[in-house]
Structures are given as structure tokens and as C-alpha cells.
Amino acid sequence: MAHTDALSTDYVRELDRRDPLAGFRGRFVFADPDLIYMDGNSLGRLPKATAPHLDDVVQRQWGERLIHGWNEGWMALAGRVGGKIARLIGAQADEVLISDATSVNLFKLATAALQARPDRHKIVTDDLNFPSDLYVLQGVCERAGRPCELVVLPSPDGVHGPVDALAGAIDDDTALVALTHTVFKSAYRYDMDAITRLAHDAGALMLWDLSHAAGSVPVDLNGANADLAVGCTYKYLNGGPGSPAFLFVKEALQETLQNPIRGWMGQRDLFDFGLTYEPAPGLQHFLTGTPPVLSIAAIEPGVDLLLEAGMDRLRAKSVQQTEYLIHLWERLLEPVGFTLNSPRDAERRGSHVSVGHPDGWRIAQALINDMRVLPDFRKPDNIRIGVAPIYTSFEDVWQTMTRLHRIVDEGLHQRYDAGFGTAT
Ligand SMILES: *Cc1c(COP(=O)(O)O)cnc(C)c1O
């Protein structure tokens, strides 16, 4: 293969033939075989096993078993599926639960963290964080019941995390360091061990948002001794639109931290219907209301596929694919004015790659409408290309990059309006 040009179809088809995970592609629904889907980092594809599984949950478990369902698996479901996700993120089974949306879980855990450090007045984060996370942290700070400052450190270049500034800002007045592990725009990936150590050396708690990390990069929460984590399940975990999120609290903190949104699902002996709140043991008290059984059930088939493929093999393929993508950027896109808006170093990069162009919005429109490639777009000029190694082929990557080149080379984007439309 060494003598075959990396731009040739022979080369890319050989890469797909040699891919040990190639068989997993056939276990997802490809309703339109001509559509190249590069947005699995925003909404993962539908696993073929999901519809029959949901059919069983609806027809048999709900339709036939009615209220018995709660004792026949529904009550345990949030913890059972959480326990599977735990294996993807280096946690113990009883440290992860499915509940609510990521933003709500972040509110719960950040509030609990502030309460556990009552003499401290700072939350430290960065400006690469997901905006919803910043909104939540602003609210958490405002209602801390004491002066609280949210320190948002600026990235040096909009791509890489402000690692040096973090080291300077995390001090003995810091209650919590809250960061997104793999950032949504550039895919910059923090060194979880090193940053968690910084937080702990200052006596602060460390919270990681794993929304763009779970199922895309190896994560070892226990290995890093991380305290808290949240993440969504509809991106690389393929849990479906709006599928509920997960939360992680390390075992040693589960009894100390308090859930600020108390509810009966977190109550000890809930069916005693006692009138005074008493938190359930373990992580259970971080639940609030009745779990969304159908939505949690939809998460399981996608997680099972990732566990079967194995995070190590998925990561190896993802690195190979994003490296190949960047090689094609260098050969085809850099010469026509595209910048690389993701880290060059694979070690510091997640599983999507952002490329920028002054005409990025119009190029994205041409890519979607004329070229049948679906990426996503983040203002001002970022075309985000998501590689989901469980079903993305090398040919998908090659097609995306050669079609992007063709658009600019032939000026196909020029017939689109320069103004921003609705994001896809
Ligand atoms: C996608 C994403 C979320 C999603 O939050 P929800 O509240 O579940 O909608 C949160 N944080 C990050 C970093 C994300 O990428």
C-alpha cells in the first residue's frame, strides 16, 4: 500500500478492507445509502437493534405486563444501563446513573460540589466549554448563598485548552473545576490525569463533561481519580434524539454529596411514602423523578455495540481516520483556503475535526444540498466533520474531503446566500 497514493480510491478501499471494525457498519440503519453522514458527534445513527428492542419494551413490557414492569426491570434500568456506560468511561458500575439532561445533571453535581466546599468562592472553567454548561455554572454560582465567582479562562487560540492559565487560576479558594473533556468545537482533548491532579492539589473538586468523549475516546475516570462527571447519550453512544444523560459520582463522595433536586426516586425506602426526605444510599439519591423508561431503553443497544467493538479498537480507528482526514486537508483543502481548527496532535484530539473557511457557511450549504454530505456547522466558519468509528468508513472521510475540494475548486458554493440560515 505504501506506493499507492493516499488520494486514490484503491488506497481508501484498501483501508476499509483492512478495518477490523468494518462489520459494525451493517448493524446501523442506512436508510439512504447515498447520504454520507458526518454528524454522528451531534446525533448518532440508529442501531438496527433499537427498534425491535423498543418494540419489546412497548408491546410486551408495557402492553402486557403493565404496572408489573416496575418490578421486572424498569426500576433498576437507570442503574443497569449506567453500569454499562461505566465500562466505557473507566468507572465502577455503581458510580454511573442515567437521569435527566446533561445540563440538569451538571446543575445537580456542581451545586453539590459548592456545598461540599463551603469556604471557597470560585468555580474555574474555560471559554471552550459548551455554552449550556456556562449558563448552568452561572446559575449555580448566583445561587451559592455566598459570594461566588465563575472564572472563564480564555483559550490561547480558540483550539487548545488554556492549560497554563488553569494552573495559575486553580487555587485554595477554588471549590470546583468544571471542564468539557473533549471540547465541542475544536475537539481539543484535555489531559484528564494532569488537570484532575491540579484541582486536587488545590483541594478543589473536579467535574468533567464527557458529552463528546463517551464512546469516542478512552476515558478512565477512576484512573484519574476524577470526582464528578456528566455526559449525554445521543452523540457517540447512539441513544436517539434527546435520550437522557448520565452522571458519575465517585464512590467515596456518594454519601457526602447532596442532590439539590430532591425527589421520591432518591428517597430511602420510597414506597414507605415517608413525609420527610431521607437520601437513599449510594448514588440512588441523585435521582429525582420517575425515570423515562422508553428513552433509557433506547440507549442500551448502542452502548452494547460500543462495548462489543471495544474502546481501544474504536480509538485506534478514530485516530487513523482523523489523521487521514487531516492528511487530505493538507493535500486538498489547505491549498484552497481552509484552516485546520482542531489540534494537529492526535493525542490531544477527539473524534471530530473542524475545518474553517471564510465562506464556510456557503460551502456547508453546497456540501449538504449538492454533494449529499451531512456535516455540521458552528459559527463563525467551522465545518465540523464527525468521525464515528463504529460506522464511519474511510471512504466516507475521503468522499467528504474530495467533495469539499470540488465545491471550492468549481465555486459551487457561490450560488448560496452568504447569510447564516438555520443550523443543521
Ligand atoms: C451535547 C452537549 C451537552 C448536551 O446537554 P443537554 O443538556 O443534554 O442537552 C452538554 N455538554 C456538552 C459538552 C455537549 O457537547
Name the grid cell of 59.
408491546
What is the model's pLDDT at position 377? 87
Torsion on CA atoms 57, 58, 59, 63, rounded to nearest 10: 110
pLDDT digits (tens, 9 = 90+) for 128-144: 999 999 999 999 999 99
What is the model's pLDDT at position 423? 43
Mean pLDDT of 368-384: 91
Banded pLDDT at 422 (limits 50, 70, 90): very low
Q: CATH class for domain 51-307?
A: alpha beta
pLDDT digits (tens, 9 = 90+) for 386-406: 999 999 999 999 999 999 999
Residues with CB under 6 A from ligand 1: 101-103, 130, 132-133, 180, 184, 209, 211-212, 232, 245
Banded pLDDT at 424 (limits 50, 70, 90): very low
Pocket test for ligand 1, best of 132, 183, 207, 247 (most atoms within 8 A of CB): 132
Please report, for the chain, the start and end positions of each structural domain, with discontinuous segments joined by +.
9-34+311-415, 51-307
Mean pLDDT of 61-89: 98
Active site residues: 130, 209, 234-235, 384
Banded pLDDT at 420 (limits 50, 70, 90): low
Separation CA 424–CA 411 (nearest Å): 22
Tell me: pLDDT of 309 over 90: yes
Separation CA 283–CA 285 (nearest Å): 6
State the alpha helices, DSSP H only, in 246-393: 293-309, 311-328, 360-369
Banded pLDDT at 378 (limits 50, 70, 90): confident
| 6 alpha carbon – ligand 1 mean position (Å) | 36
| 405 alpha carbon – ligand 1 mean position (Å) | 31
Mention every residue, 6+ apart, whose C-beta is less than 8 A from residue 257: 109, 112, 113, 115, 116, 249
| 92 alpha carbon – ligand 1 mean position (Å) | 23
Count CB-CB contacts under 10 A for residue 376.
Answer: 20
Separation CA 258–CA 160 (nearest Å): 34
Q: Does domain 9-34+311-415 have CATH number 3.90.1150.10?
A: yes
Tell me: pLDDT of 186 over 50: yes
What is the model's pLDDT at position 421? 53
**Which ligand 1 atom lies nearest to the CA of residue 234?**
1
| 132 alpha carbon – ligand 1 mean position (Å) | 7
DSSP string, 173-236: TEEEEEEESB-TTT-BB--HHHHHHHHHHTT-EEEEE-TTTTTTS---HHHHT--EEEE-SSST
**Which ligand 1 atom lies nearest to the CA of residue 235?**
1
What is the model's pLDDT at position 372? 96
